[in-house]
Amino acid sequence: MKKKRFYISFVFLSVVLSMVLALSLPTTETVGVSSDNVKSKQITETIDDLAIINTDIFSDRHDSQLILLSQKKEKVDHQTDAYAKKTKSKDLSTSFWIRYINVGQGDSAIVQCDGHYMMIDGGPASASSTVYTILKKAKIDSIDCMIATHPDADHIGGLSGALNYAKVEKCYSSVSSHNTKTFESLLKYLQKQNTPLIVPDGNISFYLGSALVEVIVPAEKCSDTNNNSIVTKITYGNNSFLFMGDAETEEENKLLDARNDLACDVLKAGHHGSSSSTGDRFLGESNPQYVILSVGTDNSYGHPTFETLARLKPLDVTLYRTDLQGDITCESNGEKITFSTSKTTTKEALWEQGSSAKAFANRDGSTALTPEKTSIPEETTYVLNKSSKRFHHPTCKSVGEIAEKNKEYSAKSSEELIANGYKPCGRCKPHEKITDETSSDLENNVTAQEKSAKNDAHVIHYVLNTKTKKFHDCNCSSVADISPGNKREVTWSREKVVEQGYSPCKRCSP
């Protein structure tokens, strides 16, 4: 009985629905087909169409929801990536390495983080093929950023090799123009790729993968291109890496005075280990554990110099040199740093000056360093650097860094040399009157601060650096690098100095 009632109800509803639809549908004349058949067919097609429309509406709505979800996911992923980049990565699944390339007497390094690449300098033009081959073998055909620290040929000459193989997105340079064929060649290859050349007028930071890169420049420009070098600091997890270009103590002190954070674990020392770079103050602030010296075998400059090695030796750093160890690869997981080299050498050889250094043993059995003296003609009043157009006092330690082909001994007066287009060295100030006493000080590399400290040693016990919170003996060489605003001379006992929160200098061990 229930089934019969259900069936009658269903038929009744079907008939009503058919009538409503029939009245609403337009009549169509069809040859050979009855009106009832046409209406029946139209009803069926309309119901099917309604079903399709409903399905399409649902499908569109579903797709729209999927698109919105996808967009939200992409937005979240983007925000997550942005957040991850703004934090120091400790994810061991990421990767970071630096390859310090042996380009002879020059500088070049490739940095990789999470599949992104950066190149800092390219060595001399003779290294172009080396750079090209390294990139090709590693299949590095895209470089996010290139840095030309300064326009010297031994730093930018080999960048043409990189630009011949890889696409470079942007290039930072300390200058926009320089009157040399090497720099013009760099510009030509950059323009060929439509790669922008950016000259920073202040510090810039960006991310290479998950590593933070800081491009650091001095606030005031200097006439010396070395002291306008772009300094690059890279932070990956808890590890940091510093590249100094050819920056000398003048730029080092300017950057420190401007409160730039130059602390690092790994230091690529400035100017190939020249005595004019890597000063005591800078070393105290940067406090590296590892130091990389990029120098050429048998180079004519005597790099690395006795003075720089002597400043590094007491700091107990681990030293690496491209002239003795070839390519140096440094890897980090954000916590631990490891090194590998393409060649091996002895620890003793690493601490030898240039290619002609001599090592001797101290009474305590440790290895010390001694510079070799250069024979200078007796009639010489000044030593000229024909390349830089500077003249020096014969006892100036910069003389040892002048290549023989650029060195000339002169008996002319300072006035005559200045009239001939030469400029006096800023270190030894040869145009100023030199007495027997100051000449002796130059010969022994005694600074005015050291001399003053020695004269007052019976009164002053220690010299404090109020910024670094370190204390020194009066005759410590680090005293000369303390800025006057941070220097304090005291007659306190050692115990009182320590009580005031100061720690002893590692160099002089006061």
Q: How far apart are the first and last CA of the chain?
A: 114
At 187 the pLDDT is 96
Share of the chain above pLDDT 90, in %: 47
d(CA 414, CA 431): 6
Across the chain, which distance is largest between two alpha carbons, in Å?
137
Three-class DSSP labels, 33-93: CCHHHHHHHHHHHHHHHHHHHHHHHHHHHHHHHHHHHHHHHHHHHHHHHHHHHCCCCCCCC
C-alpha torsion sign, points 429, 430, 433, 436: positive
At 111 the pLDDT is 98
- Pair 342, 330: CB distance under 8 Å: no
Q: What average pLDDT does the structure give for the chain? A: 77
Predicted confidence band at 503 (pLDDT cuts at 50, 70, 90)?
A: confident
Q: What are phi and psi of 343, to 5 degrees?
A: -135, 160
pLDDT above 80: residue 64: no
Tell me whether the omega of the peptide bond preceding residue 304 falls within 30 degrees of 0, making it cis.
yes
d(CA 507, CA 439): 26
DSSP letters spanning 463-482: EEETTTTEEEETT-GGGGGS
* 507, HSE (Cβ side, Cα atoms, 13 Å): 21
pLDDT above 90: residue 216: yes
Indicate the CATH number for domain 96-355. 3.60.15.10
β-partners of residue 488 are: 464
Residue 292 is encoded by which pair of tokens?
């990389």
What stretches of 91-200 show up as alpha helix (H) in DSSP? 128-137, 153-156, 159-165, 181-192
- Pair 121, 146: CB distance under 8 Å: no
At 192 the pLDDT is 95
At 11 the pLDDT is 57
Tokens 């058919």, located at residue? 18
d(CA 227, CA 150): 9
Q: What are phi and psi of 108, to 5 degrees?
A: -165, 140
3-state secondary structure of 143: strand
**Tens digit of pLDDT for each residue in 314-331?**
999 999 999 999 999 999
Tokens 């033009």, located at residue? 125
Task: Choose between 123 and 386: higher pLDDT.
Answer: 123
Q: Does domain 382-443 have CATH number 3.20.20.210?
A: no
Predicted confidence band at 472 (pLDDT cuts at 50, 70, 90)?
A: confident
- Pair 393, 442: CB distance under 8 Å: yes
pLDDT above 90: residue 509: no
Q: What are phi and psi of 102, to 5 degrees?
A: -80, 100
Going by C-beta distance under 8 Å and a sequence separation of 6 or more, which residues neighbour residue 436? none
How big is the chain by its Cα radius of gyration, in Å? 36
Task: Choose between 15 and 42: higher pLDDT.
Answer: 15
Going by C-beta distance under 8 Å and a sequence separation of 6 or more, which residues neighbour residue 19? none
Share of the chain above pLDDT 70, in %: 70
Lowest mean pLDDT among 14-18, 60-64, 135-139: 60-64
**Tens digit of pLDDT for each residue in 344-358?**
999 999 999 885 443
Going by C-beta distance under 8 Å and a sequence separation of 6 or more, which residues neighbour residue 132? 161, 162, 164, 165
Residue 283 is encoded by which pair of tokens?
């070393």
Lowest mean pLDDT among 51-55, 145-149, 308-312: 51-55
**Tens digit of pLDDT for each residue in 372-411?**
444 556 567 788 888 778 888 877 767 766 777 778 888 8
At 325 the pLDDT is 95
At 10 the pLDDT is 60
pLDDT above 50: residue 482: yes
Lowest mean pLDDT among 21-30, 140-149, 388-397: 21-30
Task: Choose between 29 and 16: higher pLDDT.
Answer: 16
**Residue among 279, 220, 294 nearest 247 (CA):** 279
**Tens digit of pLDDT for each residue in 411-458?**
888 888 888 888 888 777 776 644 434 444 444 444 444 444 444 333
Lowest mean pLDDT among 28-37, 150-159, 192-201: 28-37
**Tens digit of pLDDT for each residue in 275-294?**
999 999 999 999 999 999 99
Residue 9 is encoded by which pair of tokens?
């109800």
- Pair 110, 117: CB distance under 8 Å: yes
Q: Where are the domains of the chain?
A: 96-355, 382-443, 448-504
At 382 the pLDDT is 86
**Residue among 335, 338, 337, 339 nearest 90 (CA):** 335
d(CA 460, CA 454): 9
